[in-house]
A and B are shown apart, each in its own frame.
Chain A
Amino acid sequence: MTQTLINGLAVGGIYGLLAVSFSVVYGVLGMVNFAFGEVFMFGAFGALVASAANTQIAGADFAGPALPQWAAIGVGLLVGALVGLLIERIAYKPLRNAPILSMLITAIAVSMLLRAVGTFLFGASQSPVPAPALGDAISVLGARVQPIDIVIFGVAVLATAAFWALVRFSPIGRAIRATAQDKDAARLMGIGVDKVISTTFVLGSIMAALAGILYSQKYGFAAAGMGFLPGLKALVAAVLGGIGSIPGAFVGGLVIGLVEEFAAGYVPQGSAYRDVIAFGVLVLVLWLRPQGLLGRREVQKV
């Protein structure tokens, strides 16, 4: 029970981080950037490659820098930020005034392209990720708990809190919120809206990359297609939390993680259908509350 709880919180924390990425970019651009699942993947590989002594990239052998764990994580975040910046500049910026449908289609295409690039660079099979040296399972309230799960949950909470504080209290955060509310008004107030959007993308990508790194540490692998299912679940989490809200997205992620782990552990056949549960929740929520669990109704303008 305690074990499932801690496990669910760790998985949920990862979903929550990724959900925050989706949510904050949705806030400024009004679009779902499906490609965050791939930024998640690039973050994981960035950290993996940076920490390895030798790696294979695009089929060729390279000597890796073998950086210590903390520095490798930094590299992973940087790679994520760079990928995020590139896709925003190249694919989304030309579509600033295009219909939302075009932007969504582009986002899906970017996601597919990045996955193909990931497969090309890192191969079609899973790459093993060495477990961080955190010691053996510890005993909490009589249950055996993996320390990595506690670390992941702690990191996810801290990162989300820091991100929330940044958006809430810093000048760039104010610019982000202004842009999210009204782009034109923000522009008239002298805010460089394009720069704000790029910054938001980079910040969101860092969160996504962090989620990817934690995920690869927890499950011990990285793969080109690793971002798809977590991405979809994080989207569900963002919708549950009312897309656009940072705490909402994170809590949504925790809910999905917990529901998933408890269903897998306690419902018969639950582990086979583990991945369906989150989507079942989504379908249910959108049937009952189309605006999301915590979202507000949008007012139609004439």
Chain B
Amino acid sequence: MTTSTSATSSRLLRLIPPAVLAIVALLAPVLLPGDRWVRVAALALIYIALASGLNILVGLTGLLDLGFIAFFIVGAYTTAILTVRLFVDQLGFDPDSLWWLFPVSLVAALLLAGIAGAIIGYPTLRARGDYLAIMTLAFGEIVRIVSINWIDLTGGSVGIRNIPPFGVGSVELVSPAANYYVVLAMVVVILVALAGVVASPVGRAWVAIREDELVASSMGIRTRRYKLLAYVCGASIAGVTGVFFAHMQQFINPDSFTLEDNFIVLSLVILGGAGTYWGPVVGATLWIFFQAIARDWTIVQEHPEFRTGFLALIVIVLMILRPGGIVSRRLKLTRGSTPAETKPEGVIMPPVENVITPAADSVAPGTPVLVVDGVGRTFGGLTALGSVSFEVRRGEILGLMGPNGAGKSTLLNVLSGVTKPSRGTITFRGERIDGLESDRVSVRGIARTFQTVRLFWDMTVLENMLVGAHERLRGWVPAFALRLPRHRHDESAALAEAGILLEFAGVGERRNDRASSLSYDAQRRVEIARALMTRPSILLLDEPAAGMNESETRELASLITAIRDAGTDIVLIEHDMDLLMSVSDRIVVLDHGEVIASGTPDEVRREPAVLEAYLGSDA
């Protein structure tokens, strides 16, 4: 009873800041002294939208874009050209009757800026991060130079004037306050949609890519697509903002968008807090108002360059002292929550077996499910794997042992799609999987853990788990932006499932903790539980006991056998011989990239080749 009231009151408390913010935002035109400041507030809103859009790239996904304003320019010119150049100049419409064209412009700008985002984003699929930064800078310049020089279309340095103001029917919204409210509506829509997307599989995929791209892909996320999606989303927001900006100003010319604006928007994201939700809002509001105040200072009037100089200085100092920015509050990546205490009463939890293998498996125990045939891998002149053949059978734990450098980790990377085999075939349930990307391997039912634990450290345990459920939660971006109930329902189901798996792995009570705060042992267990969250039929464990003490290792052994008993087959790489011998049903021994022995633990133990590999020929 007490817990529920305190929960309600804390929920109410959490609603206070947004409520205050909403009231301030609504009353701003009344509270601010004079039209000049209302215009400043409207400009702040424009920058809030831009910074929030750029935050998707820089903050969430970890992609630097130094030419972001280009998308804003695309949006602004789209509406200006469509409205003034085409409908007024060419088709002879009366500018006052064109209010209905505004939504058309919005859609056009959304599409064009989105396409521009895809064009600039496409090379990121393969190029390195710093090349990308250069490329975005160059792309921004291309758009700017074209907008200056393509005089027939853009009006060159004069720009395009007489863009009709916002309006409905014959009512024109020209006062600063009216403009402010129109732009406020846009910002609210963007922020609400963004909140929906952030707390969805899409937002989690973005953050997962920023945190650890390889792990993200081993959870079934098509990382390239999601990076491209980040570009398209960010660009679309900037494009839409450009449309509003053009109609608010009623004119545009190349001076409306300076080169420095790229840097300013980026700085606002950093200042407020990259990767947070409110950071861009705070950063943009503070800076635009500060800049407006500073405009009255003599020193700034004499030296306008002090403003960017000062902003640059802030960014440099922040990067050294407080890289998280002003709002360093962690982003929540799910709306749902499971109470930390225990299972909710009255809810019947399905047994863990049903969670781990939800679909009844018709394959009889002992049937080969994963067949590795003649697989080899060469790095330059070095042969890491010669020609390896073995099979994993239904219902077993297959141990993989061998001295250092025997090729165990390479083999695991080849099996999970991280590395492509140079030769040989891998067949999983009758389907060739060699050559597939690791996200596709994951989706087919092969999950893995990593030699050194690789969690998404900035996420909570539950959020880590939800990334594992990416494949069955994913959907269409607009559906998440609109928060359709179907997705909310799916997400609750996944959260319940995550709770069961965490209990099963013995870390149920840590579900709401940040991954980086866990003990080493708990990190290992969460990593295993997260891999199970992808509902694998085979789980590849890469030295799970490394760094554990004896009692932790014993408990790990019982967890591993429990996973097998629940219906997931296991390939276990381990240096701890006791663990390997005690849990494995069969063992394959590798040395110098070749299989030198295989069989039951007892058979392998007596194999002379194994003794020789481990102890030298004299033993």
- Residues of A in contact with B (beta carbons under 8 Å apart): 26, 31-32, 91, 94-95, 98-102, 104-106, 108-110, 112-113, 115-117, 119-120, 124, 224, 228-229, 232, 235-236, 239, 243, 269, 272-273, 275-276, 278-280, 282-283, 286-287, 290-292, 298-300, 302
Contact = CB atoms under 8 A, between A and B. Distances in A.
Contacts of B123: 283, 286-287, 290
Nearest to A108: B263
Contacts of A124: 305
B390 interface: no
B34 to A, nearest CB: 30
Contact of B259 (A95, A119, A224, A228): A228
7 contacts: A91-B320, A104-B129, A272-B149, A278-B138, A280-B142, A283-B123, A286-B135
A104 B319 contact: no
A216 B375 CA distance: 61
B353 interface: no
Contact of A116 (B66, B141, B309, B409): B309
Nearest to A119: B305
Contact of B129 (A100, A269, A292): A100
Nearest to B418: A302
B199 to A, nearest CB: 23
Given A102-B319, A116-B312, A272-B149, A282 B135 contact: yes
Contacts of A282: 134-135, 138
B614 interface: no
B257 interface: no
B58 A101 contact: yes
A236 B379 CA distance: 30
Contacts of A243: 130-131
A109 B130 contact: no
A232 B64 CA distance: 16
Chain A interface main SS type: helix
B442 to A, nearest CB: 15
Given A279-B139, A287-B122, A298-B128, A236 B323 contact: no
Given A98-B323, A232-B134, 20 more contacts: A32-B133, A95-B319, A100-B130, A101-B129, A105-B270, A106-B316, A109-B263, A109-B315, A113-B312, A116-B306, A120-B305, A124-B305, A236-B134, A243-B131, A272-B149, A279-B138, A283-B142, A286-B135, A287-B122, A299-B379
A98 to B, nearest CB: 7
B95 to A, nearest CB: 30
A112 B303 contact: no
B612 interface: no
Contacts of A113: 309, 312-313, 316
A26 B130 CA distance: 10
Contacts of A280: 142
A298 B126 CA distance: 11
B64 A276 contact: no
Given A95-B320, A98-B319, A109-B267, A236 B138 contact: yes
A31 B129 CA distance: 10
List the 5 closest pairs (A to B, CB-CB), nearest first. A116-B309, A279-B138, A113-B312, A290-B126, A119-B305
B260 interface: yes
A283 B135 contact: yes
A124 B259 CA distance: 15
B306 A120 contact: yes
Given A112-B308, A287-B122, A290-B123, A300 B131 contact: no
**Which of A228, A275, A290 lies at the interface centre, i.e. has the most chain B CB atoms within 10 A of its CB?**
A290
Contacts of B62: 99, 101
B146 to A, nearest CB: 7
How big is the B interface, by class? 35 or more
A116 B450 CA distance: 47
Contacts of B139: 279, 283
**Which of A32, A109, A115 lies at the interface centre, i.e. has the most chain B CB atoms within 10 A of its CB?**
A109
B556 to A, nearest CB: 22
A110 B312 contact: yes
A276 B146 contact: yes
Interface in B362-404: 379
**Which of B58, B128, B379, B450 lies at the interface centre, i.e. has the most chain A CB atoms within 10 A of its CB?**
B128
A91 B316 CA distance: 7
A117 B320 CA distance: 21
A235 B66 CA distance: 14
B419 to A, nearest CB: 8
A106 B313 CA distance: 9
B60 to A, nearest CB: 12
A239 B138 CA distance: 12
Nearest to B123: A286
A178 B131 CA distance: 23
Contacts of B312: 109-110, 112-113, 116
B214 A112 contact: no
Contacts of A115: 305, 308
A105 B315 contact: yes
Interface string B98-132: 00000000000000000000000011001111110
Contact of A302 (B133, B260, B263, B450): B450
A109 B309 contact: no
A302 B323 CA distance: 27
Contacts of A91: 316, 320
Contact of B138 (A110, A116, A117, A283): A283
A239 B134 contact: yes
Interface in B30-72: 58, 62, 64, 66
A272 B147 CA distance: 11
Given A105-B315, A113-B316, A276-B146, A232 B138 contact: yes
Contacts of B149: 269, 272-273
A26 to B, nearest CB: 8
B311 interface: yes
B422 interface: no
B411 to A, nearest CB: 12
A104 B139 CA distance: 17
A99 B58 CA distance: 13
Given A32-B133, A105-B64, A302 B316 contact: no
A276 B128 contact: no
A102 B323 contact: yes
Contacts of A279: 138-139, 141-142
B502 interface: no
B413 to A, nearest CB: 6
B581 to A, nearest CB: 27
A112 B126 contact: no
B145 interface: yes
Contacts of A272: 149
Interface string B70-88: 0000000000000000000
Contact of B128 (A99, A275, A283, A290): A290
Contacts of B122: 287
Nearest to A117: B309
A13 to B, nearest CB: 21
A287 B125 CA distance: 10
Contacts of B259: 228
Nearest to B213: A300
B266 interface: yes
B467 interface: no
Interface in B246-261: 259-260
Nearest to A284: B123
B308 A116 contact: yes
B243 to A, nearest CB: 25
B282 interface: no
A101 B308 contact: no
B137 interface: yes
A286 B127 contact: yes
Given A102-B323, A104-B133, A228-B259, A276 B145 contact: yes
A106 B263 CA distance: 11
